[in-house]
């Protein structure tokens, strides 16, 4: 009988990486779930995450341009519609997208959509993290660019936790605001399944290619982690400012 351990498949390796490095473990998210964020901290997160959200269709358009067949493009283009929405014949939206729902989330938390649209208040490190993700999808191979979306394997569970935490701890956010996350749970599951099937098809169990996919997901975890580091630090600075000058010499 062989005592060799079976070699883990790609999905198992991805799930192990996520368990370790996905932003569900970030202290800011842990505080969010425990109900410990102030209204200003939650609003800072919503405003800065909008910068990420509005760039998702841009990175998906870059990925679209790398897909070599009609079938792949037909499928991937849905992601752009999911976020940008679909215009109707009369110029009014036939289908709202995630960006519109995120603007409503801002309004539900007391942030005017004009402020979110202006980009005012987006933290420098958040701009860099989001640029990093967009440029990764611009410059990497199609395998790596598609693989970098695979953090979505972990997002639906995190959003389910988030919805429950917000209902419980932040009732001042109007329930309509949660629509973004409620819609995204199903969309994220479907997107992750689709991307995983593509990455498995392209890597065909070759270890070196699987490693490239894992590195892309590790990079994406760093993007999401850095974004929260910046938001968390902004909250600490605001609290220090509110306390006034310290006595330390």
Ligand X SMILES: O=C(O)c1cc(C(=O)O)c2c(n1)C(=O)C(=O)c1cc(C(=O)O)[nH]c1-2
| Positions in the binding site for ligand X (CB under 6 A) | 56, 98, 149, 151-152, 155, 158-159, 184, 224
- Cα separation, 23 vs 38, in Å, equals 20
At 189 the three-state DSSP class reads helix
- Closest C-alpha to 171, from 42, 69, 47, 79: 42
Structure tokens at 209: 């290619």
Smallest distance from the beta carbon of 201 to ligand X, in angstroms?
18
Nearer to ligand X (CB atom), residue 197 or residue 239: 197
Name the residue nearer to ligand X (CB basis): 1 or 229: 229
CB of 226 to ligand X, least distance (A): 13
Question: Measured from the CB atom, is 89 or 231 closer to ligand X?
Answer: 231
How near is the Cβ of 210 to ligand X at its closest, in Å? 19
Helix (H) and strand (E) counts in the chain: 11, 2
DSSP E strands, 63-214 = 86-87, 93-95
Position with the least CB separation from ligand X = 151
Quote the least distance from Cβ 61 to ligand X, whole Å: 12
Give 215's contacts (C-beta < 8 A, 6+ positions apart). Answer: 144
Q: Which is nearer to ligand X, 152 or 210 (CB)?
A: 152
């Amino acid at each position: 009988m062989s005592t060799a351990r079976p070699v883990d498949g790609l999905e198992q390796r991805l799930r192990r990486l996520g368990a370790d490095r996905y932003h569900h473990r970030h202290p800011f998210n842990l505080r969010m779930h425990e109900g410990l964020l102030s209204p200003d901290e939650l609003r800072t997160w919503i405003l800065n995450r909008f910068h990420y959200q509005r760039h998702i269709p841009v990175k998906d358009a870059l990925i679209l341009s790398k897909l070599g067949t009609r079938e792949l493009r037909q499928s991937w283009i849905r992601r752009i519609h999911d976020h940008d929405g679909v215009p109707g014949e009369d110029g009014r939206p036939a289908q709202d997208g995630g960006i519109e729902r995120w603007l409503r989330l801002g309004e539900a938390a007391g942030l005017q959509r004009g402020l979110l649209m202006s980009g005012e208040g987006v933290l420098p490190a958040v701009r860099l993290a989001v640029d990093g993700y967009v440029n990764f999808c611009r410059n990497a191979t199609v395998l790596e660019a598609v693989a970098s979306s695979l953090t979505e394997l972990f997002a639906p569970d995190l959003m389910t936790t988030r919805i429950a935490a917000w209902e419980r701890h932040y009732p001042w956010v109007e329930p309509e605001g949660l629509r973004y996350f409620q819609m995204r749970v199903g969309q994220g599951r479907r997107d992750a399944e689709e991307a995983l099937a593509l990455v498995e098809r392209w890597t065909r169990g070759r270890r070196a290619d699987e490693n490239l996919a894992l590195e892309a997901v590790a990079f994406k975890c760093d993007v999401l982690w850095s974004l929260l580091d910046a938001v968390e630090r902004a909250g600490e600075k605001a609290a220090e400012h509110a306390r006034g000058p310290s006595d330390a010499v």
